[in-house]
């Protein structure tokens, strides 16, 4: 059995949230030892380099590429899967070795990655996002035309539902189609044609049914949610709040007490503002919602002790530039080490993968990212990626590292 030693790097220990010099020994795709002076059959010289656990993005949309929804809906149906393969490769090259796809990717994409047909991060998939009639995921627009970014197909069921019994059946369909997590919109959104983020969607009995049915299948619920919609989601037991603007003190207190995660997707706001500046043709009411997006909820969540996990909402900010999110988290009050924790062990724990991913710990899968310089310096970290390893196998090497 071949033993590879990554020697002399500065390791980020996600458990202690510190960095220090150490070697990592890998056998058969697993970390077997961490220490100094380790011996192996092969060596990777990490002198002067940081060594991070494989990073995790808890909120991406791999089948989407453009933030311009009107451009996207005019593309051929199957193009999304070819673009998805490219987006997976770009994400992996950014040091992100695991993702949670928050609507779009189907079971075939996940299986293709697992079988080595496509280079990319390992995936947890939601398939699509439950929406009430007139909600954030309802493709109907006032013109009566349909603008559906996620048109249904056999691997991605339609998801506009109303009432607990419709929800029960739909979740069972999603589980049958291969969902690893259930995604719901419990409030309006920014770029949809309907209500804005302050308007709650679904009632308590409906959200409770989602959590009950997901739990019966061993799954969690993630909620696109703002304001009162987020409060209802937390009250009824969702696992994570995605985006999370307009969160009041009561909601934050409940989240901290219950251990409900916040996935802030700060990069999305930057990407949407860039899209407006570039002249993307959003309607005026969508532009107005984008301008109202930032409200300080993330900083207050950090102060309240709400657990944070990294998610980007790519492609609202481009796939492959995921690590901007680390800098934005620091801007909102996290230390660099805490931001890295949000992208490693916290993210793994949110996704139920903490036993196998998220830290450079013996027994875990050997996902490692080699970076130039200090791993605790998150500024511009995405431009300092040198090599990415997944299960101990090098899956990306930067041109400047060769």
What's the fold here for domain 55-322? TIM Barrel (3.20.20)
Task: Categorize the per-residue pLDDT at 144 as very low, low, confident or very high, splitting at 50, 70 and 90.
Answer: low
For the chain, what is the radius of gyration of the CA atoms?
21
Distance (Å, whole) CA 365 – CA 27? 10
What are 348-377's pLDDT values in tens digits?
999 999 999 999 999 999 999 999 999 999
- Give the confidence band of 292 by pLDDT, cuts at 50, 70, 90: low
The pLDDT-based confidence of 140 (bands split at 50, 70, 90) is confident
- Categorize the per-residue pLDDT at 192 as very low, low, confident or very high, splitting at 50, 70 and 90: low
pLDDT band at 191 (very low <50, low <70, confident <90, very high): low
Delimit the CATH 3.20.20.140 region(s) of the chain. Answer: 55-322
Q: What is the residue-averaged pLDDT of the chain?
A: 93
Structure-token pair, residue 273: 């503002």
Q: How far apart are CA 375 and CA 340, in angstroms?
A: 9
Say which CATH superfamily domain 3-53+358-401 falls into.
Urease, subunit C, domain 1 (2.30.40.10)
Stated pTM of the model: 0.95
Residues of the chain with CATH 2.30.40.10: 3-53+358-401
Q: Work out the average pLDDT over 27-39.
A: 97
Residues 6+ apart with CB under 8 A from 391: 29, 30, 365, 366, 367
Cα 394 from Cα 6, distance rounded (Å): 12
| pLDDT value at residue 20 | 96
Q: How many helices (H) and strands (E) does the chain have?
A: 13, 16
């Amino acid at each position: 059995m071949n033993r590879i030693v990554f020697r002399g790097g500065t390791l980020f220990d996600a458990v202690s949230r510190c960095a220090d010099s150490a070697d990592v020994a890998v056998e058969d795709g697993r970390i077997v030892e961490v220490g100094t002076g380790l011996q192996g059959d092969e060596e990777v010289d990490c002198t002067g380099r940081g060594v991070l656990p494989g990073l995790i993005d808890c909120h991406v949309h791999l089948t989407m590429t453009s933030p311009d929804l009107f451009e996207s809906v005019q593309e051929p149906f199957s193009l999304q899967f070819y673009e998805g393969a490219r987006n997976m490769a770009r994400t992996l090259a950014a040091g992100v070795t695991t993702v949670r796809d928050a609507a779009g990717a189907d079971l075939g994409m996940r299986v293709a990655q697992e079988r080595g047909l496509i280079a990319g991060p390992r995936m947890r998939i939601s398939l699509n996002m439950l929406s009430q009639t007139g909600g954030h995921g309802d493709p109907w627009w006032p013109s009566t035309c349909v603008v559906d970014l996620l048109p249904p197909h056999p691997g991605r069921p339609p998801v506009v539902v109303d009432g607990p019994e419709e929800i029960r059946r739909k979740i069972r369909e999603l589980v049958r189609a291969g969902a690893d997590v259930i995604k719901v919109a419990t409030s309006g959104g920014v770029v949809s044609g309907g209500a804005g983020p302050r308007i709650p969607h679904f009632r308590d009995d409906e959200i409770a049914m989602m959590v009950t049915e997901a739990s019966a299948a061993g799954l969690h619920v993630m909620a696109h949610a703002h304001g009162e919609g987020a409060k209802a989601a937390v009250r009824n037991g969702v696992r994570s709040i995605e985006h999370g603007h307009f969160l009041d003190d009561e909601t934050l207190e409940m989240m901290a007490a219950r251990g409900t995660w916040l996935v802030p997707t700060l990069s999305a706001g930057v990407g949407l503002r860039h899209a407006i500046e570039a002249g993307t043709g959003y309607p005026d009411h969508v532009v107005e919602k984008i301008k109202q997006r930032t409200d300080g909820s993330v900083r207050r969540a950090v102060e309240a002790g709400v657990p944070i996990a990294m998610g980007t909402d790519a492609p609202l900010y481009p796939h492959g530039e995921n690590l901007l999110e680390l800098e934005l988290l620091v801007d909102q009050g996290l230390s660099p080490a805490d931001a890295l924790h949000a992208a490693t062990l916290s993210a793994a724990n949110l996704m139920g993968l903490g036993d196998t991913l998220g830290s450079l710990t013996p027994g875990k899968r050997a996902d490692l990212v080699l970076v130039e310089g200090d791993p605790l310096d998150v500024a511009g970290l995405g431009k300092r990626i040198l090599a990415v390893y997944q299960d101990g196998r090098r899956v990306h090497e930067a041109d400047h590292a060769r």
